[in-house]
Chains A and B, each alone.
Chain A
Amino acid sequence: MGEITLGQYYPTNSILHRLDPRVKFLGTLVYIVALFLVRGPVGYAVCAAALISMIVLSKVPFRYVLKSLKPVVLIMAVTMLFNLLLTPGEVLWRFWIFKITEEGIRMAAKMGIRLVFLVSGSSIMTLTTTPNALTDAMERLFGFLKIIHVPVHEIAMMMSIALRFIPILTEETDKIKKAQIARGADFETGGFVKRMRAMIPLLVPLFVSAFRRANDLAMAMEARCYHGGAGRTQMKPLRYRKADYIAWAVVAAFLAVCICLSVTGW
């Protein structure tokens, strides 16, 4: 169950799924930058076209992309509301101390569109890339930081272990919670202090278990000759293929178009 909520990878075989994660990661970054570059309707249309074609290429059902918007609906609503009420300009409607301006409406609409595009665009990346591939991509992309003694390999290893254990610990939390409820624990009622105290019977066992697992895992890794990143090879090293080069070209073209649109303000 944990895996559905986490990373939300949607297993299928599409062009996007097969693409090198580095392309997807940087491509998504470019797309996000572009969203904030463009100003006019043509710009938004180009971004929308990019988003829609990515969704189609990914073969991920549309409702999964929509689902990813759910957790950010509140943030979106608040942002839009602030923009709506607090943008100065030509007043259209007044209510108590608030006033709605034409600029406000435009601003709110823009913010809304941007956020929807941003979240669904990045969820396309997480829907088509396994968390592991993403970690790999980051290890490679940030590899240059090794020069200034950033332990890039170790950080990546930690991330991928975390990814493996988050679903396990989520399940475990659920189990311990149920076990304590069966002993009459109450997690739902009472004020802040009572609720915090009620968490102790959940958190202590969870930490104990997490430490035991960490200990076991460290031993298992040692038993399998793990001794850090030095001298380690990879089963699935990232290699660019033809499709990846084409994707780079598409991303570059997209960026160029968006910069032009940004300059002209279309």
Chain B
Amino acid sequence: MLIEIQDLCYTYGEGTVYEVMALDHVNLKIGEGEFIGVIGHTGSGKSTLIQHLNGLIKPTSGRILFEGKDIWEEGYDRRSLRTHVGLVFQYPENQLFETDVLTDVMFGPKNEGLTKEECEQRAKMALRQVGISEDLYKVSPFELSGGQKRRVAVAGVLAMDPEVLILDEPTAGLDPGGRNELLNQIKYLRDKRGITVILVSHSMEDMAVYANRLIVVHEGKIAYDDTPRNVFTHHRELEKMGLSAPQITYVMHDLKARGLEVDTRALTVNEAARSILMALSLRKSMKTAEAQEKQD
């Protein structure tokens, strides 16, 4: 197991009036090469959860194991853990600080103590992976467009060559074009480089397309941990948690309720279209058959 969370609890502001239990006995196992979606409304504890994975927050109780080792054990090197578990925060462009794009992306590898050449090589590779072209390497990160800044910031984490990449709402504030581009690049990283991806998002539609496992966090607990397809069958329960299933799910359920034999578990537009077309032709042939029977 790559990452294992055992009985994790975390309490904010312990001993003050504002004490909140953000995580409540969470257990989780994360395997290599997974594409995990984490969903939950604001304040559900999902951000707190992911910050535990690379040792940025110390659990109030419970353990976090990376490759079998407790990351809060005496003498555990949490700085090197962070090169294995890369975390991209919300609005990561807010962390850019260097005079040019390339140097900024080199910050991570430099902290690892790599040589200048290695740092540069890593940075260039990371920038290629997020689709930043070479003519932007020497440009100030502050002069880039919003979408470009975002990708440079993601490259800053990728340059550390992590095995696990955690992204906290990486598409927030991007327009649809920028959103799809970034998500496709992340998917490519996972497919080609075998990076384990943990993606926090509010978009169920994105989860349906990209994630192969969906974790729903609610009130500091894990409410569901299953494939997106299976999680969406609980669309009524999701609504009670202030979440919702993709629009497709609702359409399919309504159609089924109205007597059209469609697959309510369809995830994408294409799947839904195919299922509806099939159901329509089935109904048509049945009707013709009925009509024929009557004639006979």
A79 at the interface (CB under 8 A from B): no
- A1 cross-chain contacts in B, Cβ below 8 A: 13, 18
- B107 cross-chain contacts in A, Cβ below 8 A: 180, 183-185, 201
Q: Which residue of B has the minimal Cβ distance to A188?
A: B79
- A184 cross-chain contacts in B, Cβ below 8 A: 79, 82-83, 107-108, 111-112, 160
- Given contacts A178-B51, A181-B82, A186-B79, A4 and B18 within 8 Å (CB-CB): yes
Contact of B97 among A178, A182, A200 (CB under 8 A): A200
Residues of B within 8 A of A (CB): 13, 16, 18, 51, 54, 56, 79, 82-83, 86-87, 89, 92, 94-97, 107-108, 111-112, 142, 156-157, 160
Contact A178 B89 (CB under 8 A): yes
Contact of A204 among B51, B92, B97 (CB under 8 A): B97
Chain A residues touching B, range:
20 to 34
Interface residues in A167-198 (C-beta closer than 8 Å to B):
172, 175-176, 178-186
Residues of A within 8 A of B (CB): 1, 4, 172, 175-176, 178-186, 200-201, 204-205, 208-209
Classify the interface of chain A: helix, strand, loop or mixed: helix
C-alpha spacing A254/B79, complex, angstroms: 59
C-alpha spacing A171/B165, complex, angstroms: 24
**Nearest 7 A-B pairs (CB), nearest first?**
A184-B111, A204-B97, A179-B95, A182-B87, A183-B108, A179-B89, A201-B97
Contact A176 B83 (CB under 8 A): no
C-alpha spacing A118/B151, complex, angstroms: 53
Contact B157 A183 (CB under 8 A): yes
- A181 cross-chain contacts in B, Cβ below 8 A: 56, 82
C-alpha spacing A176/B142, complex, angstroms: 16
C-alpha spacing A205/B94, complex, angstroms: 6
Q: Which residue of B has the minimal Cβ distance to A11?
A: B17
Minimum distance in angstroms from B269 CB to a CB of chain A: 35
Contact B95 A205 (CB under 8 A): yes
Contact B56 A182 (CB under 8 A): yes
- Given contacts A175-B89, A178-B56, A208-B142, A185 and B111 within 8 Å (CB-CB): yes
C-alpha spacing A182/B165, complex, angstroms: 11
Minimum distance in angstroms from B122 CB to a CB of chain A: 12
- Given contacts A4-B16, A175-B89, A208-B142, A180 and B95 within 8 Å (CB-CB): yes
Contact A182 B54 (CB under 8 A): yes
Contact of A182 among B13, B86, B94, B142 (CB under 8 A): B86
C-alpha spacing A172/B94, complex, angstroms: 9
- Residue pairs across A and B with Cβ atoms less than 8 A apart, 27 shown, are A4-B13, A4-B18, A172-B94, A176-B94, A178-B51, A178-B89, A179-B87, A179-B89, A179-B95, A181-B82, A182-B54, A182-B82, A182-B157, A183-B82, A183-B157, A183-B160, A184-B79, A184-B107, A184-B108, A185-B107, A186-B79, A186-B111, A201-B95, A201-B97, A208-B94, A208-B97, A209-B94
Q: Which residue of A has the minimal Cβ distance to B113?
A: A184
7 additional contacts, CB 8 Å, given A1-B13, A201-B95, A201-B97? A4-B18, A179-B89, A183-B107, A183-B108, A183-B111, A184-B83, A201-B107
Contact of A179 among B16, B83, B92, B142 (CB under 8 A): B92
- Given contacts A1-B13, A4-B16, A181-B82, A175 and B156 within 8 Å (CB-CB): no
Contact A205 B97 (CB under 8 A): yes
C-alpha spacing A213/B25, complex, angstroms: 38
- B111 cross-chain contacts in A, Cβ below 8 A: 183-186
C-alpha spacing A205/B142, complex, angstroms: 10
Q: Which residue of B has the minimal Cβ distance to A3?
A: B18
